[in-house]
Chains A and B, each alone.
Chain A
Amino acid sequence: MDRSFLSHAGVVAASREFVCIRPSTYESAKEAPFLESLFRGRSGNLENTVFAILAPDGRTRLCRTGRSPGFAYSSPDDMARAMQQILRKYPGTAPANTTLPLLPDVRLAINVAACDSTPLAILYAPDPATRPALEQKLIGLAWHKNLVGRLQYCVATKPGELKSLVATGVRPGLLVVQPGAYGTGGQVVTSRLPGASSEDLQEALQLGILLSEFQQKVMRTHVARGRQLGINWTTAIPVTDPGGRRRP
């Protein structure tokens, strides 16, 4: 991803008024056709990244779609200005911060958290009745000015979903996970029961953020070391990017 655009202060500020969606490419057969409809590379296939700005209907394109923001905008400043213009036309009728932004499952969520060098917050609710109250508190925290965008979130309902985690005596509630460098597992660094207060949950999330701040990655060394370690991520559907094929 092009971080020079997506970490730009003006783009981040404007993003708070957008609904920001980041599907994981090649991780859903259902999502792939939609992504392909937005952009196919020279090979005619879905490539590793797809970029678009769309109207609220999810169909109308509001910029040139492509592989990255650089296909549509000459600079991050240009993108920030364009986003503000779009907001004047589509100001929204309700806030978007009343929903917990979720990843689809624990396995992928650990990997995404590792990619972002952020902690993962798992709402572990084997009993569906325990989910709503805890989720409501987490929604408030996920969009809190000190925490917004700084964690990933997912839901687990079965113990088997947590098998890649290092943890002892896991109980339902909030699990804050520090992902391993390669996102194939993680460690529960702290947890809270479903009845925990918002303040207590926030403390747990902030501890996770603190621990993740010590992680740094350099693409070249990360990949080289990963190959030495035999890391080989299995995607849900075949990788079709000409430059991104998995090793046999």
Chain B
Amino acid sequence: MINRLLPALLLLYSVSPVHAADAPGRIAWFGTLKQGLAVAEATKRPILLISAAPHCNGVSGIW
């Protein structure tokens, strides 16, 4: 299915006014405390932390 759609998607991408390079930026998150705290300690960089539940009243796929 994806293979059949690929040419059309790439064409759409090539004419799309919003490419990845132009898209609004997003924060890059470390997904675990263990890894993130280790990187912060090693690099002496401050930490931006937000924890969130990946479900709403048990329905997943949304913060």
Contacts and interface: CB of A to CB of B under 8 A. Distances in A.
Given A9-B25, A143-B28, A54 B47 contact: yes
| Residue in B21, B24, B33 with the greatest tally of chain A CB atoms within 10 Å | B33
Given A19-B36, A20-B27, A20-B29, A246 B58 contact: yes
A23 B54 contact: no
Interface bracket on B: 35 or more
Interface of B: 2, 6, 9-10, 12-13, 18-21, 23-37, 39-63
A180 B61 contact: yes
Interface string A222-248: 110011000111010001010011110
Interface bracket on A: 35 or more
Q: Is the interface of B mostly helix, strand, loop or mixed?
A: mixed
Contact of B35 (A16, A102, A190, A213): A102
Interface of A: 1, 6-7, 9, 11-13, 15-28, 30-31, 34-35, 38, 48-58, 62, 68-69, 83, 86-87, 90, 92-96, 99, 101-104, 108-109, 111-112, 114-116, 142-143, 145-150, 152, 154, 179-184, 187, 189-190, 206-207, 209-211, 213, 217, 219, 222-223, 226-227, 231-233, 235, 239, 241, 244-247
